Amino acid sequence: MPVLAGILITVGIGIIDYKGLKHILHVPKSDAAVMLIVLIMTVFVDLLQAVAVGMVLASVLFMKKMSDIVEDKSSISSVDEFSREVPWIDETEVSEDILNKVYIKHFDGPIFFGFASKFQEMTRALPAVDVVIMRMKKVPYIDQSGMYAIEDAVMALQDKNVLVLITGMQKQPEDMLRRIGLAPDMVADQYLYKDFSSCVQALESGEAFKGVVKKEDFGWAHITR
The domain limits of the chain are 2-72, 89-218
Note every long-range contact of 40-45, with CB atoms under 8 Å and residues 24 or more positions apart, other chains counting.
Answer: none
Percent of the chain clearing pLDDT 90 (strictly above): 34
pTM over 0.75: no
Which residues lie across from 102 on neighbouring strands? 131
- Written as one letter, the residue type at 197 is S
The dihedral sign for the CA sequence 148, 151, 155, 156: positive
| pLDDT tens digits along 17-61 | 888 788 888 888 888 899 899 989 988 999 899 999 999 999 888
Q: 136 and 169 in contact (C-beta within 8 Å)?
A: yes
| pLDDT tens digits along 97-150 | 888 889 898 888 888 766 666 677 777 777 778 899 999 999 998 888 888 889
User: What does residue 214 show for φ and ψ, rounded to 5 degrees?
Assistant: -75, 140
What is the rounded distance in angstroms from the CA atom of residue 161 to the CA atom of residue 136? 22
- Written as one letter, the residue type at 128 is A
The dihedral sign for the CA sequence 36, 42, 45, 47: positive
Q: 144 and 31 in contact (C-beta within 8 Å)?
A: yes
Q: 116 and 146 in contact (C-beta within 8 Å)?
A: yes
User: What mean pLDDT value characterizes the chain?
Assistant: 81
Which residues lie across from 134 on neighbouring strands? 105, 166
Look at residue 211 in the predicted model and tell me its pLDDT: 63
CATH code assigned to 89-218: 3.30.750.24
Helix or strand holding residue 8 (H, E): helix 2-14
